[in-house]
Structure 1
Amino acid sequence: HFVHNLIHEEDEMEDKPRHRLQNVGEQGHMALLGHSLAAYISVLDKEQLRKLTTRILSDTTLWLCRLFRYENGSAYLHEDNRDGLVKVCRLIINARYEEYASEGYSVFRSKQPVIYQSASCRPGLGQHLCSQLGLPLSSLCTVPCNTIFGSQHQMDVALLDKLIKEDLEAEKLPLLLIANAGTPGAGHTDKLGRMKDLCDQYNMWFHVEGVNLATLALSDVTSAVMAATRSDSVTLTPGQWLGLPAVTAVTLYRYEDPALSLAAGLTSSQPVEKLRALPLWLSLQYLGHNGIVQKIKDATSLVSFCVQAKQMRHNILVVEDELNSPVVLFKFSQEMTAGEGRTNRREQDCASVRDLGEQLVQLVPTSGVEVVEFEDEGTYIRFSPLLTAAALGTQQQDIEHMVKRLMELVPVMSSTVSLRQDFREETHRHAASLRYVEKLSWPGLGAVRYQPQEAEGLHESRRKQELEKLNAELLKKLQDLDSDIMFSSGPEFETEDDCIFIGMVTEDVDVSELVETIATLGKEIEESGRLLENMTEVVRKGIMEAELQLQRANEEKLMEEGMLRQLPLVGSVLNWFSPVQSSIKGTTFNLAAGSLDSTEVIYSTKAQASRLSLQDTPTSSSKRLQGMIIHCCCAPL
């Protein structure tokens, strides 16, 4: 209970919805049970422990090699999915530099090793290898992808061949080539067959990784992915593919010298380290061959349902499924308007796709979609069921629901994009009070600021304060309108506080009427504020004048009546014996006019009204009333 509170403490304090946890089914519980059993088994007798761990590791290796068609391979299990490649690099260095064990890094002076990777590989992978191996970054060669022919995410094999020849001429040693069977972004597979031939030609180690390696377990495998079985090593992530929590990654490799494998750290003589295989061993036992194949097959079949989005009208969303990749990419695509810059349109489209992806994640959390960004191509919504479906429990109805949501959201996005230019032009027509604010990262209709020309003459700090106050009041009034349009102060990271952001709109929205409404409401707020400010100034001046007149009246009263009459007790007695008729007139403060007026008009009006009412009464009543008036007037005397 204490740990549960720690997990949700921050969300409860900030009133956030609790994060969705991974769908841990029975197979997930089996994997988690393996960690507990591993801790328990570690306290067994050493001989029992050695026999048991050797059996578990050998069984796991055999099953993985048969399942993913990697014959005669050895397995290294590791927590960090990059660690297997680091150990493989150490193995190659020990094999290619015979004196490395005795002389260390000094052997690199004669021939500097070179590691080749694709420009589409995992970010930071090459830098991590150089850091762990103690190699300079000059030992890392990043090969560009195809720019004219083939996929934009495949390594250019012809250029790779040229780079290898140049390194050989520079007396460098080509050491390792890292290829992708499913790039991290688009899920495309390199030309593995041609790359393997190059590695054989130049005596290089060939390593393959990627999500498409999961399809090797299926009966129908594409030839592009099947070529990965010829590689010298592969890195598998069965925990992601099968939805198994806390299961290690596995690197399968082929090498016959056990001494060098031990020196590189690929094998260990410690039985406890071999227990890393226990959670995966239990999960494979539980699922069985048919269960594993079915999970991967179900995940890849979800792609066909997602491709239904190709039929969306106006080709607003483009589905990219080149090379039969089990990864689907959506991108926003619409024609540019006249006078619109390509850079601005691309940034706005990226913002729209990013917002669309975030909405899909909220509306259909089990879909597993995410937003990815490519340096040269922009922002995409990616659907990669092999990485997410097993963990989230994604079903066909979830994908159908996602496609349905796309059908609803995309037309609104399209109409918003088409009306942005009209909104900009209409705002410029109200230049006397409205300012269009360019916010390319905002996916909605646009942003405006109510800024009357009178505010330009104010001091900078005062002007900013007044604009923030005015636009905050205008935003509140716009939000109170009975409209489907969303008005907000912008995203959380927005630094400007005096802008009004308009969200997405439908095609039936009258942009000119919308801008006119904003300008009219802003004018009303401005005028009411100005009236209030003028009234405040008038009242302030009137109060100051009244204070001065009261002060003069008190001085005149003191001069006329004398000091003795101002004393509380003495003044009352003196006024009783010798009443005084003051010449000081009463005054009243008129809030509407902000002026001081005499009270004589009020008293004369009241007296006249009383006299008229007395004349209308009978004579006897008048006499009684006059007597009462005389009595009341004389009583104080």
Structure 2
Amino acid sequence: MTSENNTNEQNDHITTNNLSSLPNISDTDQSTELNNRIRNDFMSYCFSFLQDNEEAHQCVQIVWNKYLQCVGDIAILSAFFDTLPFHIKTSVLPKYQIEIIEWCKNLFHINSHALLCSTYYSETFQRVIRYAFKTDRFKKGIIYVPMDFDTNLKIDLTSSLSNIKFEHISNDISSEDMIDINQLEELIKRDINDTQSYPFMVIANAGSALLGHCDQLTKIKKLCEQYNIWLHVIGDLLGSLALFPTIKENVNINCDSLTIDIMKLFGIQNLPYLTFFLQSTTDIKQIDDNKSLVTSHPLYDFILHSPSISFLSVWSISQRCSRDTILSHMKVSFDLTNFLLTNLKDVNRLRILNNDNHQETYNYQRICSGDVPDDVLPKPVAIFRFEPNHILEVENMDDINGYIDLLNLWLFDKLSQHYPKMNLELLKSVHFQITKSNNTDLNQAPAHAIRFAPLEHLLDVIYQNDIQLFIQDIQRYIDILHATMTGRKNLSLIISNYENLSSIPMPNWAGVGAIRYIPSHINLSDIDEISINEINTIQAELARQLQTNDTAFSLGGGGGSGSGTDEYESMFYLRLGMIRKSEDLDILLRKILNAGKETETSLKYVEDMAEKIRTGIEKVQKDLQDENLQLFAQEGLLRHLPLVSNSEYPDDIT
């Protein structure tokens, strides 16, 4: 009994001590209330700037709610973990690292031996390079990259890692974001015997950043294995394997390491970059704390010396979210892009720039090994531009590439104004040109294209109905562009039928062109300042009249030092904008001609009236002058006449 009582007393004492170490309930309530108030005050202030935009307010709320649903308030756990002693964190980390790797394996179907979570993009490359670098080499490691590799990222890496250098692999056949395997092999053979450097790594694309292209990873991997080179892969298509519910165990991405931007794929803010290491990185060490063997990785030091919120965010998602919730943004984005591309193929005179003509080779066998499905790779982006079906449509036009580019700029402006939620972007590349010239300098001039990438935008929600309306407007705008292009091509020929109209070259104008109304009595070969003033007056009056009913007209020229499009730079002209149908050009020209003649007649009448008024004024002025002269003459005569008076006081008269 005594022993039992002592035990109970001891347990009560322990319980009392444990309770005393916990915060008071009232203190906890106050802390919770304070936290809620601070959070609500901060969010209310931020939302106050969105009061006038209810749609933006709702979008932000949706993204924020999704973050809370999928990630939660992980910052508290992160702060707690970061306060732990280093040896405790070393013991805790393996459990959660293994759980994250297993979860990613089941989700992405990627068999990896280690995983890194990085806050910054450059940090992912630094860690991969440091890990893969061969420490026994005293030469610089050459990293082969495509031409579109981020210049700022390259500068950042070379400044932090002095023992590497970059070699760009150009691709003149398709685009600058893909690696030409033949050229890659030639460079490797050239560099393999270099005394100052050696082939070290290839960075390839599986869904490039801007164009969404995918390198032939299977062939590149074989080449890298042949020369003992590390292959690192980046791109949005790396996560697309997650869209398969099941996949065979022997399927894996053809690379040594890869980096995925899960913030893009999941549509959840503030998530880290995931870097998977497919090569074995296990390094077993003896941990004496618990007298047991613990499997440790060399990469754990990277993780433990980084903010823990990165890996804890991923772990929290793995505990809270279903597969459908996580993959909904990626699936919807790929479906929207595919829906747009499918419908754009039916739009006449619209060229899809990232449409692969060999779909049988653009499948998962391009990037994966094993018994991989032969499904076609999804497209993360859609890139398109307006182009004529045949070069004959614009064969007589000067600077074809430049003018088609102006039309695409007009198309981008219209689509961006009417569909801001689409978040369209404007790209420039030499590979977008419609024709190739014998002049090499002209071939290097970049052309514009329009890019749609729903995967990259979390705030704006887009539906298929929006895409359908978007496609209808594209078709309408394409018809306008084609009519305008045809009108510009035929302007000089058509205008020759109108004797009072002359065409003006307009190289930097997307519309039909420019014309000038010339009065019948003016000869352009013998023009003077008076005639120029008359022409300018007519053009200005024409612009004023025509703009009241039609926005296709605008006044240009008259600057003297402006565009330099005409030898008479001080003369005004009428700019013709876009037309809806080719027949509209004749209507516009007749309207200008009729209005010009009316204006010329009105001005002639005004001039005649002004001349009559001027003549009348001159006559009146002359009559007044004659009358004044007569008065002056009479006054002068009166002054010389003698004054006669019979006054008795002649001295008073002065």
Q: TM-score range by the shorter chain?
A: 0.5 to 0.7
- 1:45–1:308 CA distance, 2 compared to 1 (3 A): closer
- The match for 1:446 is 513
The CA deviation string for residues 411-463 of structure 1, in whole angstroms up to 9 with x for no partner, is 33333333332223223555754333333551x43344556766787789x99
Structure 1: segments with no counterpart, 5+ residues: 100-106, 566-637
- The match for 1:141 is 167
Q: 2:383 aligns with which of 304, 319, 329?
A: 329
- 1:299–1:36 CA distance, 2 compared to 1 (3 A): same
CA contact (8 A) 1:31 1:283 kept: no
Q: 2:578 aligns with which of 504, 507, 518?
A: 504
What is the Cα deviation at residue 116 of structure 1? 1.0
* CA distance in structure 2 between the partners assigned to 1:317 and 1:212 by the alignment: 23
What is the Cα deviation at residue 193 of structure 1? 1.3
* CA distance in structure 2 between the partners assigned to 1:528 and 1:198 by the alignment: 81
Q: 1:376 aligns with which of 422, 431, 438?
A: 431
Q: 1:31 aligns with which of 54, 67, 77?
A: 67
CA contact (8 A) 1:121 1:184 kept: no
* CA distance in structure 2 between the partners assigned to 1:86 and 1:522 by the alignment: 70
Q: 2:147 aligns with which of 119, 134, 155?
A: 119
Residue aligned with 1:267, SS:
helix
- The match for 1:297 is 331
What is the Cα deviation at residue 157 of structure 1? 0.7
Counterpart AA for 2:134 = R
- 1:367–1:255 CA distance, 2 compared to 1 (3 A): same
Counterpart AA for 2:232 = H
* CA distance in structure 1 between the partners assigned to 2:538 and 2:47 by the alignment: 45
The answer as to 2:235 corresponding to 1:210 is yes
The CA deviation string for residues 40-63 of structure 1, in whole angstroms up to 9 with x for no partner, is 963888229975995877755654
* CA distance in structure 1 between the partners assigned to 2:474 and 2:327 by the alignment: 30
- The match for 1:486 is 552
* CA distance in structure 2 between the partners assigned to 1:539 and 1:18 by the alignment: 64
CA contact (8 A) 1:176 1:207 kept: yes
The answer as to 2:199 corresponding to 1:185 is no
- 1:51–1:511 CA distance, 2 compared to 1 (3 A): same
What is the Cα deviation at residue 164 of structure 1? 0.9
The number of residue pairs the alignment matches comes to: 530
Counterpart AA for 1:96 = K
The answer as to 2:200 corresponding to 1:200 is no
Residue aligned with 2:112, SS:
coil
- The match for 1:632 is none
- The match for 1:583 is none
The answer as to 2:165 corresponding to 1:173 is no
CA contact (8 A) 2:63 2:269 kept: no
The answer as to 2:58 corresponding to 1:46 is no
Counterpart AA for 1:31 = Y
* CA distance in structure 1 between the partners assigned to 2:77 and 2:623 by the alignment: 95
Residue aligned with 2:449, SS:
strand
Q: How does 1:67-466 map to 2 (within 5 A)?
A: 67-92=107-132, 95-98=133-136, 111-122=139-150, 125-133=153-161, 139-145=165-171, 147=173, 154-171=178-195, 172-219=197-244, 229-253=253-277, 256=281, 267=302, 269-270=304-305, 273-277=307-311, 281-283=315-317, 285-309=319-343, 312=346, 314=348, 316-318=350-352, 321-322=355-356, 323=362, 324=376, 325-326=378-379, 327-333=381-387, 334-337=389-392, 340=395, 344-378=399-433, 379-388=448-457, 391-430=459-498, 433-439=501-507, 442=510, 444-450=511-517
* CA distance in structure 1 between the partners assigned to 2:494 and 2:331 by the alignment: 54
- The match for 1:616 is none
What is the Cα deviation at residue 174 of structure 1? 1.4
Counterpart AA for 2:552 = M
* CA distance in structure 2 between the partners assigned to 1:85 and 1:343 by the alignment: 47
- 1:539–1:331 CA distance, 2 compared to 1 (3 A): same
Structure 2: segments with no counterpart, 5+ residues: 1-43, 285-295, 357-361, 363-375, 434-447, 564-569, 640-654
* CA distance in structure 1 between the partners assigned to 2:613 and 2:54 by the alignment: 54
* CA distance in structure 1 between the partners assigned to 2:58 and 2:525 by the alignment: 56
What is the Cα deviation at residue 144 of structure 1? 2.2
The CA deviation string for residues 275-297 of structure 1, in whole angstroms up to 9 with x for no partner, is 24455555555543232234323
* CA distance in structure 1 between the partners assigned to 2:154 and 2:618 by the alignment: 78
Counterpart AA for 2:416 = V
Residue aligned with 2:431, SS:
coil
* CA distance in structure 1 between the partners assigned to 2:50 and 2:534 by the alignment: 43
CA contact (8 A) 2:426 2:450 kept: yes
Residue aligned with 1:337, SS:
helix
Counterpart AA for 2:147 = A
* CA distance in structure 2 between the partners assigned to 1:32 and 1:456 by the alignment: 77
* CA distance in structure 2 between the partners assigned to 1:458 and 1:280 by the alignment: 78
- 1:515–1:206 CA distance, 2 compared to 1 (3 A): same
Residue aligned with 1:96, SS:
coil
The CA deviation string for residues 148-203 of structure 1, in whole angstroms up to 9 with x for no partner, is xx888642112210111112233331122110101233322111011112222222
- 1:439–1:144 CA distance, 2 compared to 1 (3 A): same
CA contact (8 A) 1:218 1:293 kept: yes
Residue aligned with 2:253, SS:
helix
Normalized per residue, the structure richer in helix is: 1
* CA distance in structure 2 between the partners assigned to 1:256 and 1:222 by the alignment: 24
CA contact (8 A) 2:487 2:512 kept: yes
Counterpart AA for 2:203 = I
- The match for 1:585 is none
CA contact (8 A) 1:117 1:141 kept: yes
* CA distance in structure 2 between the partners assigned to 1:411 and 1:263 by the alignment: 61
What is the Cα deviation at residue 355 of structure 1? 2.9
Counterpart AA for 1:231 = C
CA contact (8 A) 1:214 1:241 kept: yes
* CA distance in structure 2 between the partners assigned to 1:431 and 1:266 by the alignment: 84
The CA deviation string for residues 582-602 of structure 1, in whole angstroms up to 9 with x for no partner, is xxxxxxxxxxxxxxxxxxxxx
CA contact (8 A) 1:344 1:440 kept: no
- 1:35–1:219 CA distance, 2 compared to 1 (3 A): closer
**TM-score normalized by structure 2?**
0.66
Counterpart AA for 2:110 = Y
Residue aligned with 1:250, SS:
strand
Q: Which has the larger radius of gyration?
A: 1
CA RMSD of aligned residues (A): 4.9
- 1:263–1:57 CA distance, 2 compared to 1 (3 A): closer
What is the Cα deviation at residue 331 of structure 1? 3.5
Counterpart AA for 1:142 = H
* CA distance in structure 2 between the partners assigned to 1:35 and 1:488 by the alignment: 57
Residue aligned with 2:392, SS:
coil
CA contact (8 A) 2:345 2:352 kept: no
